[in-house]
């Protein structure tokens, strides 16, 4: 027995030594090895990052400023610091020596702290009076410089994107030139040029993203030509374009130019009240490119909007108490409704659109229409005037009748095409604009003149198959639909809540022939709701609304009855006693009906809460429960084997 105990003890010692040896060896040789089990492989370098690193032919130097000593007193900061360091180590390893990293702990009042301030890094004051630094500075091969002033915890899901974007910019490639035609103040924000002059401009977040990767130029609304230096044209909710402007766009496309066009049957931006309570002046409610679209073989009907019961966005409505209801004209579109075989949308998770139209192909078109974003089969087309009249969200639910057809919200148009001006260029001088109200708010800059001027020979047929992306909504670029704005130490940052900006930048990069960062940019965190619960909630709410409608009709009928009884005996005659009795009964019925309405709504909320709790328990607790059961089974089997061995 003593020998057996000695052997068991020796085995335990050998196992401990072996364990320590394996850990020491793995720490020395497997520092870069890890197993990434996240759905979007957020902890693995993407092909986009590797493609950027593969273009390096000269070293890039990175300096990570992280206040290591100060972070010891703030445990919440250390994990993110380690996460950034690990990602940078992965990049250094994959660059084969082309990226060099220096980690600096800037002590208070040291030269390193002065250098961090000089490089533009943002320090965070701590309660102790010290300043915490957590930023990155980089220098490229041609003296280009870039910084990430502060690693924000909210942007942790976009860490690889931010790092690789910085590397991409440090390479200093010649940026593609993107021209923008828009009636929206993309470059200044809703405050317009006046706010920009006061230094209070807040450009649209998507405009700022485009500026990071492209040389962006704004066209004046009276453009007459598009120069050869323009690589791509973005048309976003355009103003009332003249025939000369439409002709310039037409010839740009016929000459091989690429276009991203966002038109809108009903612009939420144009109808949103400003600080004075009135919609902004000079904005268009609807926009279109009908003449060009006809030549390109497609149609966007501005009299129709897409309503979708399954994609409806949850919104709050005012009343006696705050309520939440699905608004079927605001669409929260998951990745399942996007084309997975197109680089622009393949890796997107979610896009939010507001009052979008539908794109349809024209009969006999020479081009091919390929859907990029579509509604579900539980959708229907409704009149645009219903949005103009601000129809209540509940009314759309009550009147919903599924068409059983998926509507195309965004599409790629490709193939041979002919000019939209078969009779020749329009005459010079004032021209009749498209049948849309004039636009009083235009961009402030005009592109310099170049090729494509009206005196050049007209191109009747596209020199190569056209390649255009059309979106039947412009509200997806409105910040309210896809970003949350935050202010950290006076620095304005935007945190995406949907992939709207990613979609726009992906489209521009794809059309301009650059796909390096598309797969990388699409790896951000996205909302992942309980889909089963959402479906059950919609069904329960549909039933609630029908009951609510019936009770509301009964309530209104009873109230009319009370008013009629009062009118029938205004002075209290002989029948006043019977009238008073009838009025009292009617009032009691009104009170009872209102009680039933409250009870129906309360029961609905209880059902939703019960469903949510059940599904959360199943989703969160199921796997631990299975593991516990498995552990009990294994323990039982081992116990049985031991008993058998002891009995033998």
d(CA 382, CA 400): 9
Residue 526 pLDDT > 50 = no
Looking at 26-35, 307-316, 554-563, 608-617, which range is the least confident one? 26-35
Residue 235 has pLDDT above 90, yes or no: yes
- Please check whether residue 441 is in contact with residue 283, taking contact to mean a CB–CB distance below 8 angstroms: yes
Q: For 55-61, what is the mean pLDDT?
A: 87
Section 102-125 average pLDDT: 89
Confidence of residue 577 (pLDDT cuts 50, 70, 90): low
For the stretch 212-224, pLDDT in tens is 888 999 998 788 8
| 353-395 tens-digit pLDDT | 999 999 999 999 999 999 999 999 999 999 999 988 888 888 8
State if pTM tops 0.75. Answer: no
Give the model's pLDDT for residue 492.
Answer: 66
Residue 124: what pLDDT? Answer: 86
3-state secondary structure of 468: strand
Q: What is the DSSP string of 55-87?
A: T--S-EEEEEEE-HHHHTT-TTTHHHHHHHHHH
pLDDT in tens, 431-449: 444 433 333 333 334 444 3
Helix (H), strand (E), coil (C) string for 119-149: CCCCEEECCCCCEEEEEEEEECCCCCEEEEC
Average pLDDT for the chain: 79
Token pair for 580:
């008073």
pLDDT at 593 over 80: no
Higher pLDDT, residue 162 or 260: 260
3-state SS string over 219-263? CCCCCCCCCCCCCEEEEECCCCCCHHHHHHHHHHHHCCCEEEEEC
| Domain extents in the chain | 47-163, 174-302+355-374+405-481, 534-647
In this prediction, residues 101-107 reach a mean pLDDT of 92
Within 8 A by CB and 6+ apart from 367, the residues are: 296, 297, 298, 361, 413, 414, 415, 416, 417, 466
CATH class, range 47-163: alpha beta
The predicted pLDDT at position 368 comes to 93
Tokens of 135: 């930023």
Q: Which two tokens stand for residue 70?
A: 């100060």
Ranges 362-376, 455-469, 479-493: which has the least confidence: 479-493
Residue 590 is predicted with a pLDDT of: 65
**Residues above pLDDT 70, as percent of the chain:** 70
pLDDT for position 36 = 59
| pLDDT number for residue 27 | 57
**CA 525/CA 541 separation, integer angstroms:** 29
- pLDDT tier at 155 (50, 70, 90 boundaries)? confident
């Amino acid at each position: 027995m003593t020998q057996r105990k000695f052997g068991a003890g020796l085995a335990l010692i050998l196992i401990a030594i072996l364990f320590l040896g394996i850990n020491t060896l793995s720490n020395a040789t497997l520092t870069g090895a890890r197993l990434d089990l996240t759905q979007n492989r957020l902890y693995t370098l993407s092909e986009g990052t590797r493609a950027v690193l593969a273009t390096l032919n000269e070293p890039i130097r990175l300096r990570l400023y992280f206040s290591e000593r100060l972070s010891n007193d703030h445990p919440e900061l250390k994990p993110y610091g380690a996460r950034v360091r690990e990602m940078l180590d992965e990049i250094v390893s994959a660059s084969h020596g082309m990226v060099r990293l220096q980690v600096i702990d800037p002590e208070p009042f040291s030269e390193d702290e002065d250098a961090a301030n000089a490089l533009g890094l943002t320090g965070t004051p701590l309660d102790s009076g010290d300043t915490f630094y957590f930023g990155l500075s980089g220098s490229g091969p041609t003296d280009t410089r870039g910084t990430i002033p502060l690693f924000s915890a909210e942007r942790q899901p976009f860490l690889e994107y931010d790092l690789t974007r910085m590397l991409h910019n440090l390479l200093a490639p010649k940026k593609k030139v993107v021209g923008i035609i828009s009636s929206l103040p993309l470059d200044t924000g809703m405050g317009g040029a006046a706010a920009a002059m006061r230094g209070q401009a807040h450009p649209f977040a998507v405009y700022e993203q485009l500026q990071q990767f492209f040389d962006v130029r704004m066209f004046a609304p009276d453009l007459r030509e598009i120069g050869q230096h323009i690589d791509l044209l973005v048309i976003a909710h355009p103003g009332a374009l003249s025939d000369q402007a439409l002709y310039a766009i037409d010839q740009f496309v016929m000459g091989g130019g690429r276009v991203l066009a966002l038109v809108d049957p009903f612009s939420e931006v144009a109808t949103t009240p400003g600080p004075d309570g009135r919609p902004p002046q000079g904005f268009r409610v609807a926009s279109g490119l009908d003449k060009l679209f006809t030549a390109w073989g497609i149609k966007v009907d501005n009299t129709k909007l897409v309503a979708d019961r399954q994609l409806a966005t949850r919104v709050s409505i005012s009343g006696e108490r705050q309520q939440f209801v699905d608004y079927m004209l605001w669409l929260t579109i998951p990745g399942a409704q996007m084309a997975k075989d197109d680089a622009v949308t393949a890796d997107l998770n979610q896009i939010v659109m507001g009052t979008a139209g539908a794109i349809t192909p024209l009969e006999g078109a020479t081009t091919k229409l390929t859907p990029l974003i579509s509604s579900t089969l539980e959708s229907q087309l409704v009149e645009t005037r219903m949005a103009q009249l601000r129809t209540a969200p509940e009314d759309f639910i009550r009147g919903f009748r599924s068409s059983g057809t998926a509507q195309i919200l965004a599409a790629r148009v490709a193939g041979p095409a002919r000019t939209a001006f078969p009779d020749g260029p329009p005459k010079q001088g004032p021209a009749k604009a498209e049948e849309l109200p004039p636009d009083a708010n235009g961009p402030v800059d005009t592109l310099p003149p170049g090729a494509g001027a009206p005196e050049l020979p007209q191109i009747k047929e596209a020199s190569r198959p056209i390649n255009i992306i059309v979106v039947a909504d412009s509200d997806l670029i409105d910040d309210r639909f896809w970003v949350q704005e935050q202010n950290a130490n006076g620095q304005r940052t935007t945190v995406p809540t949907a992939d709207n900006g990613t979609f726009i930048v992906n489209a521009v990069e794809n059309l301009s022939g650059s796909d390096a960062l598309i797969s990388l940019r699409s790896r951000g965190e996205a909302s992942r709701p309980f889909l089963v619960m959402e479906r059950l909630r919609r069904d329960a709410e549909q039933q609630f609304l029908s009951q609510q409608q019936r009770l509301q009709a009964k309530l209104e009928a009873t109230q009319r009855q009370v008013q009629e009884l009062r009118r029938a005996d205004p002075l209290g005659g002989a029948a006043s006693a019977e009238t008073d009795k009838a009025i009292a009964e009617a009032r009691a019925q009104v009170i009872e009906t209102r009680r039933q309405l409250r009870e129906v709504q309360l029961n609905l909320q209880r059902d939703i809460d019960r469903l949510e709790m059940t599904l959360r328990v199943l989703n969160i607790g199921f796997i631990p429960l299975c593991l516990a059961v498995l552990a009990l089974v294994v323990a039982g089997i081992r116990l049985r084997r031991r008993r058998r061995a002891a009995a033998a």
